[in-house]
Amino acid sequence: MNTAKKFEIFSGTGGVGKTTMATSRAIDLAGQGRKVLLITIDPAKRLKDLLNLKDEEAGKVVSISNPFELGEEVKLDALLMNPNETIKKIADKTNAQSLLNSRILKVLSKPYGGLNEILAIVELQLNLEKNLYETIVLDTPPGSHFLDFLESAHKIQAFFDQTFIDIFNYLGKSKSKEKTSSGRKLVSMVVSGGVKKLLGYLQKVTGGKFIEDFMDAIGAIYETKDTFLSALNLQKKLRDPAFANWFLVTSVDQSKIKEALNLSSNAQDILNSETFVILNKCLSSELDAWQPKSDEHLQIEIKESFEQKENELKNTIKKKFNHVLEFPEILKLSPTEQVVELSQRWRQLSTLKAEG
């Protein structure tokens, strides 16, 4: 394990232990005396409690001393991300109150909304600008696919694609002439053949109010487009290995070989060469030590199915990735103990690296 970077990004599907892993990394780094901010997105309630984050504090940085009872000298800042709060911050920064009034943006910034990934990057950007931290650990929003987070740029780019640029151009022209722009005005302003026709048809299906609201939302995003575009730049920068460590978390207890394969075929173009794959919940040392008797058929079956699953995943991943980190399954009931033990494993990995 090499040294911590400015950004440590944890990505992966739900249920693999991504948040627990990011938290354990953050407290390991904090334990070494680094100034660390952990940004987490809607973790399970127990972890929220452990970190002392409350829903009503969402969007605010909370300073935690003695996290997980690791010692009074250990300090960690944590932020429970809430997309709606991020939108508010953008509105404050750019003085664009229209952002807050758009009903469509309110829905878009709901958890699992279409703007979530890009808002996580915006949140990174805003915290980077504060210049307070040596390392920011980001637990990315759970995607249905491994790479949802990485592909968020496509979503926002699709938003800024040619059709929209047409609309933005009209908006830009009109803005120099007049200050206000209601959705209704917008619709009538957009004379670009295709768009006008399209809106006409859509209006028949969705109703006029929706088109108006949608144009308002676009207008509001347009007003703050610099923030979104700088987030896009930051996302590009995150691919620089000197700047960010990426950890793709996968778990042995999930038979997601296909996902692992998908990941390796797609990830190369998107990630940097220093990408780490975390194999979580490995049981190999326990399994090696277990020798069922020859007549214990059920036991043999359990052992073999475990081993087969774990080996298949390991072999697949190791063929494709240079940096694979194995973490054992922590057989502790309490999430606190799990996090603490995992942070010890991080320490162990960095020692191994230093020696080797």
Partner 1 sequence: MENLKRLYIFTGKGGVGKSTLSLSFVQSLSSNNAKYVYFKSSSLNKKEEISDPLIAQAKELGIPTLGLDLEQAAQSYISKKLKSQTLGKWVLKTPFFKALINMIPGFNYLIYLGQILELLNDDPSLTLVLDSPSSGHALTMLEATHNFKDIFQSGVVFEDTKKMIDLMFGDNFLKVNIITLPTLMAVNEAQELDESLQKITKIDTEIICNNCFKNIPNIEKSTLPEFLINKIDNEQQVSDSFSDILDTYIPHIPTNTTHKLLKELVPSMKNLV
Exactly one of 6, 88, 89, 155 binds partner 1 (CB under 8 A); that residue is 155
Q: Distance (Å, rounded) from C-alpha 237 to C-alpha 112? A: 24
Q: Name residues whose C-beta falls within 8 Å of residue 168's C-beta, 6 or more positions apart in sequence.
A: 160, 218, 222, 225
Residue 162 interacting with partner 1 (CB under 8 A): yes
Residue 331 interacting with partner 1 (CB under 8 A): yes
Find the binding residues for partner 1 in span 256-315 (CB under 8 A). 256, 258, 283, 286, 289-290, 292-293, 296, 298-299, 301-302, 304-306, 308-309
* Extended strands (E) in the chain: 7-11, 36-41, 61-65, 75-81, 135-139, 244-251, 276-282, 323-328
Instruction: Map residue 228 onto helix, strand or coil.
Output: helix
Query: What tokens were used for 71?
Result: 């010692």
Exactly one of 94, 101, 254, 272 binds partner 1 (CB under 8 A); that residue is 254
Instruction: Map residue 130 onto helix, strand or coil.
Output: coil
Exactly one of 208, 225, 239, 324 binds partner 1 (CB under 8 A); that residue is 208
Find the binding residues for partner 1 in span 10-29 (CB under 8 A). 13-16, 20
Sign of the torsion angle spanned by Cα atoms 229, 235, 236, 238: positive
Contact in structure between 27 and 155 (CB atoms under 8 Å): no
Q: Distance (Å, rounded) from C-alpha 204 to C-alpha 228? A: 31
**Nearest C-alpha neighbor of 156 from the set 42, 268, 233, 271:** 233
Candidate ranges 86-94, 203-211, 222-230, 342-350; the one touching partner 1 (CB under 8 A): 203-211
Number of residues that bind partner 1 (CB under 8 A): 72
Alpha-carbon radius of gyration of the chain:
24
Q: Distance (Å, rounded) from C-alpha 4 to C-alpha 222? A: 36
Closer to partner 1 at the Cβ: 133 or 149?
Answer: 149
Return the bridge partners of 247, or none: 10, 276
Residue 225 interacting with partner 1 (CB under 8 A): no
Shortest CB 333 distance to partner 1, Å: 5
Shortest CB 265 distance to partner 1, Å: 12
Residue 67 interacting with partner 1 (CB under 8 A): no
Closer to partner 1 at the Cβ: 107 or 352?
Answer: 107
Contact in structure between 260 and 32 (CB atoms under 8 Å): no
Exactly one of 61, 202, 324, 349 binds partner 1 (CB under 8 A); that residue is 202
Shortest CB 116 distance to partner 1, Å: 8
Find the binding residues for partner 1 in span 90-149 (CB under 8 A). 103-104, 107-108, 110-115, 142, 144
Shortest CB 356 distance to partner 1, Å: 28
Closer to partner 1 at the Cβ: 253 or 341?
Answer: 253
Closer to partner 1 at the Cβ: 193 or 356?
Answer: 193
Q: Distance (Å, rounded) from C-alpha 268 to C-alpha 142? A: 20
Closer to partner 1 at the Cβ: 128 or 290?
Answer: 290
Exactly one of 57, 164, 175, 347 binds partner 1 (CB under 8 A); that residue is 164
Closer to partner 1 at the Cβ: 170 or 306?
Answer: 306
Residue 59 interacting with partner 1 (CB under 8 A): no
Residue 5 interacting with partner 1 (CB under 8 A): no
The terminus-to-terminus CA distance of the chain in angstroms comes to 10
Shortest CB 73 distance to partner 1, Å: 28
Residue 334 interacting with partner 1 (CB under 8 A): yes
Tokens 């326990």 label which residue?
Answer: 286
Continuous segment of H or E residues that includes residue 131: none
